Amino acid sequence: MSTGSLHQLHIFIFVLAVFHVTYSVIIMALSRLKMRTWKKWETETASLEYQFANDPARFRFTHQTSFVKRHLGLSSTPGIRWVVAFFRQFFRSVTKVDYLTLRAGFINAHLSHNSKFDFHKYIKRSMEDDFKVVVGISLPLWCVAILTLFLDIDGIGTLTWISFIPLVILLCVGTKLEMIIMEMALEIQDRASVIKGAPVVEPSNKFFWFHRPDWVLFFIHLTLFQNAFQMAHFVWTVATPGLKKCFHMHIGLSIMKVVLGLALQFLCSYITFPLYALVTQMGSNMKRSIFDEQTAKALTNWRNTAKEKKKVRDTDMLMAQMIGDATPSRGTSPMPSRGSSPVHLLHKGMGRSDDPQSAPTSPRTMEEARDMYPVVVAHPVHRLNPADRRRSVSSSALDADIPSADFSFSQG
Query: For residue 368, is pLDDT > 70?
Result: no
Q: How many angstroms separate the CA atoms of 131 and 25, rounded? A: 9
Query: For residue 169, is pLDDT > 50?
Result: yes
Q: Which of these ranges, 125-129, 148-152, 211-215, 382-386, has the smallest mean pLDDT?
A: 382-386
Of 229, 224, 215, 217, the residue nearest 264 (C-alpha):
224
Query: For residue 187, is pLDDT > 60?
Result: yes
- Percent of the chain beyond pLDDT 90? 13
Looking at per-residue confidence, does 351 or 103 come out higher?
103
Compute the average pLDDT of residues 38-62: 84
**3-class DSSP assignment, residue 236:** helix
What is the torsion angle, in degrees rounded to the nearest 10, for the CA atoms of residue 392, residue 396, residue 398 and residue 402? -170
Radius of gyration of the chain (CA): 36
**3-class DSSP assignment, residue 410:** coil
Query: 74-108: per-residue pLDDT in tens?
Result: 666 777 888 888 999 898 889 999 999 999 888 88
Name the DSSP letter for residue 378: P
Average pLDDT, the chain: 75
Could you list the beta-strand ranges (E) of 28-138.
59-61
Q: How many angstroms separate the CA atoms of 21 and 228, rounded? A: 9
Q: How many angstroms separate the CA atoms of 91 and 24, rounded? A: 24
Which pLDDT belongs to residue 200?
A: 82
pTM, entire model: 0.67
Evaluated on CA atoms 399, 405, 406, 412, the torsion sign reads positive
Which pLDDT belongs to residue 174?
A: 93
Q: What is the DSSP string of 331-377?
A: TS-SSPPGGGSHHHHHHHHHHT-S-TTPPPPPHHHHHHHHHHSPPPP
Compute the average pLDDT of residues 389-407: 46
Looking at per-residue confidence, does 387 or 46 come out higher?
46
146-150, 255-259, 358-362, 371-375 — which one is most confidently predicted on average? 255-259
